[in-house]
Amino acid sequence: MRKTIERATTTVLILCISLVGAQAGATDGYFDSTWAGGGRLLFGGDVHNPNRATDIREVLQEADGNLLLGGDVDPGGFDYWWLGELRPDGTPAPTFGESNGLATSCHLLSNLCTGDGLSAFALQGDGRIDVADDKTLTRTTARAQALDTAGVFGGTGHVSLQVPIDTVQGNTTYASAIAETSSGQWIVAGGGYYDAGASGDFAAIRLNANFSLDATFNQTGTFSGGQLVAFDGGGSNSDGARAVIVQSDGRIVLAGYASPNDEAAFARLNANGSLDSTFGGGGTGTMILGGLDGNFTSRSVKVDRAGRMLLATRPAAGVKELVPNLHVVRLTVDGVPDSAFGTSGIFKVPVPSTCAGGAAANVVALDSAGRILVAGVCGISVSEQVFLVARLHGDDGSLDTDFGIDGFGYGKFDASSTYDEATDIVVDGSGHPIVVGVSQPAGGIRRAGVARLTYDLIFTNDFEVVPRGYLRGQ
């Protein structure tokens, strides 16, 4: 009987956020009823194949206020990527893609319909979109209506990301992240190896603006144009980069996992591609972060206005269990755990009793006051999960209980779903958090979800030189 009451209480809690949040006014962390379908919407990524499952991986805020979305169609099957655009009010941008707000790799070019889902994408200042999957980097024209064949080396609009190392023996094997440099070049991060059959390492290559390989990057004669960074002793162990950031001075930080325990790992390269020994405090240019519960890997890295790196960590790829704490990490600009943040740079946010099955953090974002938004998943029972958003103070990482219910917001992208998870979060041009993720009813088709949350719009100006986020009691 007690379990039945607890389950009913949890269900009421979720519904309160979904339905009553619209009347919450200035209260943070509820669905914004003024946006789209009551603050949330669902859609498939391919209008030609509406019955195929859809994942969403990333959301970007555009300069005109629109939202650029991207993910996979048919995840777990024959994956291919899709792009979408929403106007500021949440309606599809009619001139984007195939004039319906959506575009897919399969319909842009049949050669891109290869079974590789989206790894990362970026928006250029002129509106062109760069999309990386495991093996290929593609550029579309503005608004994703065609491939940019004129602007890409080779004239096809796409290039291979499997770059030879030692001519024959090795290769870069996959891409996970891309980042643009101040000169308009592109850093592509992922995994690779020097010898076939050996362990994988962090890999990074630099491409010119037209996607041709920049052979001046780490010009060693062996792998000119790229760099491999190893964290282990070889054998069957494998390391891989999952995220990349280009710092203001041009140095490049790679974040991912290191074997044999899939721990969060980091490396920094100088702007010329050589390993930067000043990073991490150990003289090696690399750093493995201890102190996390279990085997964790970095999945999201953001930089605040002081240059500090923030990331959420969760169980390594393929591990499904949830955990009792949300793990958020802050590193100094030189890769040392920030002692002012949590314990030795790690803040473990205890999840509330609502998440009886545990929780996990996927991504972080920063608002204009320096507060930290953390998004992921909450297991409210064995058979039901909802997306989770928490807000932390920007000074020390402690929970900001003025947000949502005691610091947490929970929700479903669709009221009938039994599985929802946030995969990215961004603050839009009006100062509202935009949460994207996946939603699936029991026995139903997986769909992409987008939601906009209510927020205290007093703090929307870039007024702090060094973000403190210390807004307690305000």
Rounded CA-CA distance 322/358 in Å is 5
Confirm whether 421 is domain-assigned.
yes
Domain region containing 435: 1-30+300-474
Inside any domain, residue 321: yes
- Please tell me the distance from the alpha carbon of residue 101 to that of residue 68, in angstroms, as a whole number: 10
Domain assignment present for 168: no
Q: How many CA atoms lie within 13 A of 203 on its CB side?
A: 27
216-224 long-range contacts, Cβ below 8 Å, gap at least 24?
216/272, 217/272, 217/273, 218/269, 218/272, 218/273, 218/274, 219/272, 219/273, 222/165, 222/166, 223/165, 223/166, 223/170
Number of domains in the chain: 1
| Per-residue pLDDT at 114 | 84
| Residue 20, SS3 per DSSP | helix
Residues 464 and 305: beta-carbon distance below 8 Å? yes
More confident residue, 347 or 260: 347
In a domain, 178, yes or no: no
- Using one digit for the tens of pLDDT, what is the confidence trace for 21-68? 333 344 789 999 999 989 999 999 998 988 899 999 999 999 999 999
Domain annotation covers residue 427: yes
Q: Please, which pLDDT band fits residue 318 given cuts at 50, 70 and 90?
A: low
221 bridge partner residues: none
- pLDDT of 6 above 50: no
Instruction: Output the average pLDDT for the chain.
Output: 87
Euclidean distance between CA atoms 474 and 455, whole angstroms: 13
Q: Residue 11 pLDDT more than 80?
A: no
Report the pLDDT averaged over residues 292-300: 79
pLDDT at 326 over 60: yes
Judge contact between 171 and 163, C-beta under 8 A: yes
Quick: pLDDT tens for 435-472: 999 999 998 999 999 999 999 876 544 444 433 333 33
- How many CA atoms lie within 13 Å of 234's alpha carbon, on the beta-carbon side? 5
Answer yes or no: is 20 within a domain. Answer: yes
Q: Tell me whether residue 72 is exposed, middle or buried, using C-beta atoms within 10 angstroms of its C-beta: 0 to 12, 13 to 18, 19 or more.
A: buried
Which of the pair, 130 or 168, is modelled with greater confidence? Answer: 130
Residue 210 domain-assigned (yes or no): no
pTM for the structure as a whole: 0.91
In a domain, 119, yes or no: no
